[in-house]
Chains A and B, each alone.
Chain A
Amino acid sequence: MNISLITFPGTNREHDMAMALKQAGATNVNMVWHKETDLGKTDLIVLPGGFSHGDYLRCGAMAANSPIMKDVIAQSKKGVRVFGVCNGFQILIEAGLLPGALLHNNSLKFICKNVHLKYVAQGGYMKPDEMIHVPIAHGEGNYFANDAILKQLEDNDSIAFKYCNDNGICDDAANPNGSVANIAGIYNKDKTILGMMPHPENATQDHQINTSARPFFTSLLNSL
């Protein structure tokens, strides 16, 4: 099993992600610099978090046009699994692999705290209504989709995670950044591409105290 972790200038969560994947049993985790043009044979492409290109213009806009992204897009079209977290999610959206946009948090503040997430899709890496407790760390994580995109996400069962409270209620009080419909993460139609703002990789290690996202990573690797 080959996993490609794509790094851009300003990526800073790649080692956290590698630790989470290895903790779940991954052995071949390769860092791939964005200037590369060929991923070779890979089973999972991961875009970790950070501040690629300093978040200039729009978060992820420059990274989405990096040389390696041509092969990321080509392989994803063939069904190779892709997983993007935080800035990685922003890059997937800017690259057109996932719909919608990510705006400034409605509070205008950078938010760094633990949140509860409810899994709402019927298929994919978790079971409906399962919850995980994971950190968020972003300034531009306010998921925006117009009515047509939102309907498409709902019709295709593409909404993966919603922000909720500790009782699993997805209300305004549990929405940290103003995301439409409390959306924290989405799939593409075939559920081969997942992007999310929260950081499950930071809820997997003993030293992180919270290990609630371990089953998620196990399931992700089992799907390959």
Chain B
Amino acid sequence: MKTSVTVTLKKGVLDPQGKAIEGALHSLGFEGAENVNVGKLITLDLPDGTSQEQIKDMCEKLLSNPVIEDYEIKILN
């Protein structure tokens, strides 16, 4: 079961990488680029039948830090 977890910073948490990339995009001439945020994409294979609850547990115990990050789980096949 191919699964992906996207981890992004919560709203209101400073994202200096996003800010730096936004500045670089502007200096490349892409002045319209705004609200650039950087996250992480984690893909993993799990045994078929792994429950959503177990994946959530992984996200909350290790893959994300719930204090500063949100996560989104996608089952890819």
Q: Do A and B bind each other?
A: yes
A residues in contact (CB < 8 Å) with B: 57-58, 61-62, 65, 94, 99-101, 103-108, 142, 144, 146, 149, 178
Contact B16 A108 (CB under 8 A): yes
**CB neighbours of B14 from chain A (8 A):** 103, 106, 142, 144, 178
**CB neighbours of B68 from chain A (8 A):** 101, 103, 144
- Report how many residues on chain B are interfacial, defined by Cβ distance under 8 Å: 13
**Bound CA–CA A101/B40 (angstroms):** 17
**Bound CA–CA A190/B40 (angstroms):** 36
Chain A interface secondary structure, helix, strand, loop or mixed? loop
Given A57-B62, A61-B62, A104 contacting B16 (CB threshold 8 A): yes
Contact A108 B13 (CB under 8 A): no
Q: How many A-B residue pairs have CB under 8 A?
A: 38
B residues in contact (CB < 8 Å) with A: 12-14, 16-17, 20, 40, 61-63, 65, 67-68
Most buried by A among B12, B14, B17: B14
A80 to chain B, nearest CB (A): 24
**Bound CA–CA A108/B23 (angstroms):** 13
**Bound CA–CA A107/B13 (angstroms):** 15
- Which partner residue on chain B sits nearest A104 by CB separation? B16
Which of A94, A105, A146 makes the CB contact (< 8 A) with B16? Answer: A105
Contact B67 A100 (CB under 8 A): yes
Contact B13 A65 (CB under 8 A): no
A21 to chain B, nearest CB (A): 30
